[in-house]
Amino acid sequence: MNLSERALHAPASAIRKLVPFADKAKKRGLNVYHVNIGQPDLPTPEKIMNFIRSYPASTLEYAPSSGMSETVSAWAVFYKNKGASFSEEDIIVTAGGSEALSFAFFSVADPGDEIIVFEPFYTSYAIIAAMADINLKAITTRVENGFHLPDYKIIEKAISKKTKAIILCNPNNPTGTLYTEREVRLIVDLALKHNLYIISDEPYQEIVFDGLSLLPFSSFKKLLPQLIVTDSVSKRFNSCGARVGCLASKNKQIISASLKFAQARLSVATVDQLAVVPLLKNHSQYVGQVRKTYQSRRDTVIAELKKIPGVSLTPPQGAFYLIPELPINDSDKFAQFLLEKFQDKKETVMVAPATGFYKTAGLGKKEIRIAYVLNEKKLVRAVELLNLALKQYNH
């Protein structure tokens, strides 16, 4: 019996495809420093953990498909505190940001339609698009330009009759790029001119460095009917395992369509939804320290990477990722080499090859993504291992 074309051609996750090699390395007794995945090592707030430990109900019931009323209300407070105008009827609670992205893609595009994305991009975009036979039209950004957007005319040239939306993650995963006000306005102008949706992927929005700030798409009133925000508690609250996110839009048709998709999966976990309520209502008291920690880690990683001959990078200004260019020709082979053939004092490091963050074949072969989600001592050691491995790999 054969599998479907969808199953056969869905791309593997660039973040997780090397896990079997890491597991084998660990079985050989190696300590593996994981900078391949955005799993924060910071503690989950005690309010979440204490609620889960003391959940009083004797039966775990289904939640409403649109979300627990308390959680929907908390997301509305979260957006109000950020100056966004999303009310409770504009919000659907999702199983993490990834499900919100799925709902957004499925709501705006039919099979064969296009969504514009800027590569390198979050690998799940490609997987979700493949599930729905949606074409991602990738516009390339480059390491030497800090992965900032190309000119208006270049982006406009990519728009066709089949284009339904533009997706942007700001600050960006996987590059850490913080898009400027000019870039945000450029995307808004294009969306308004060509009647396109904007899918604004916002799980890292408070993690911005160097005293900078970003211009949110929700601040453009004319854009609101065309705006879909996808979000998550995972990164800002160090709660990836809670799987609580949301989709927010002032467009009632988008909310209605997303609710149908939500009903198909019944509900998001009841306890997890309720556990994050106090954090959403008071998010500012948590994100300040998170931001400070990651900025310090970024500075450490950059300082160490700059010691390695042949490494090229632009310091990221947000999230907790960066993509350096290395003196290699195949990042997939190098990432596998780290796990199969390299070790120093029974230790190695796991990275994400950047090829998986591009749609265009051949790009990313000299690049890796590093997630600086370890403490600074471990990050220094991880980069040291990277340096030693490069010397051995290129010998």
Helix, coil or strand: residue 153? helix
For residue range 176-227, list pLDDT tens digits in order: 999 999 999 999 999 999 999 999 999 999 999 999 999 999 999 999 999 9
237 and 357 in a single domain? The answer is: no
Pull the structure tokens for residue 364: 């990313």
In sequence order, what DSSP letters do the residues of 158-206 get, joined into one string?
T--TTEEEEEEESS-TTT-PPPPHHHHHHHHHHHHHHT-EEEEE-TTTT
31 and 172 in a single domain? The answer is: no
Q: Which residues contact 369 (CB under 8 A, 6 or more apart)?
A: 14, 36, 120, 174, 321, 322, 323, 351, 352, 353, 354, 357
Q: Give yes or no for a contact between 230 and 93, defined as CB atoms under 8 angstroms apart.
A: no
- The DSSP H or E segment spanning 102 is helix 96-108
38 and 105 in a single domain? The answer is: no
76 and 180 in a single domain? The answer is: yes
The range of the structural domain enclosing residue 382 comes to: 5-43+288-393
Q: Give yes or no for a contact between 67 and 273, defined as CB atoms under 8 angstroms apart.
A: yes
The CATH number for 18's domain is: 3.90.1150.10
Q: Which residues contact 370 (CB under 8 A, 6 or more apart)?
A: 35, 301, 321, 322, 323, 324, 351, 352
> Residue 349 class from Cβ within 10 Å (0-12 exposed, 13-18 middle, 19+ buried)?
buried
Domain final residue, candidates 235, 257, 284: 284
77 and 11 in a single domain? The answer is: no
Domain final residue, candidates 284, 316, 349: 284
130 and 274 in a single domain? The answer is: yes
Cα–Cα distance between 226 and 71 in angstroms, integer?
24
113 and 141 in a single domain? The answer is: yes
Q: Give yes or no for a contact between 243 and 276, defined as CB atoms under 8 angstroms apart.
A: no
- The DSSP H or E segment spanning 257 is helix 252-264
- 291-296's contacts with Cβ under 8 Å and 24+ in sequence apart are 291/206, 291/207, 291/208, 291/209, 293/42, 294/207, 294/209, 294/319, 294/320, 294/372, 295/209, 295/210, 296/376
Work out the percent of the chain whose per-residue pLDDT is above 90: 93
The CATH number for 138's domain is: 3.40.640.10
So what's the pLDDT on residue 395? 79
237 and 351 in a single domain? The answer is: no
141 and 92 in a single domain? The answer is: yes
Domain final residue, candidates 239, 258, 284: 284
For residue range 48-82, list pLDDT tens digits in order: 999 999 998 889 999 999 999 999 999 999 999 99
Confidence check: pLDDT of 13 > 90: no
Cα–Cα distance between 311 and 299 in angstroms, integer?
16
89 and 9 in a single domain? The answer is: no
pTM: 0.95
So what's the pLDDT on residue 62? 95
For residue range 255-311, list pLDDT tens digits in order: 999 999 999 999 999 999 999 999 999 998 889 999 999 999 999 999 999 999 999
Domain count, the chain: 2
80 and 153 in a single domain? The answer is: yes
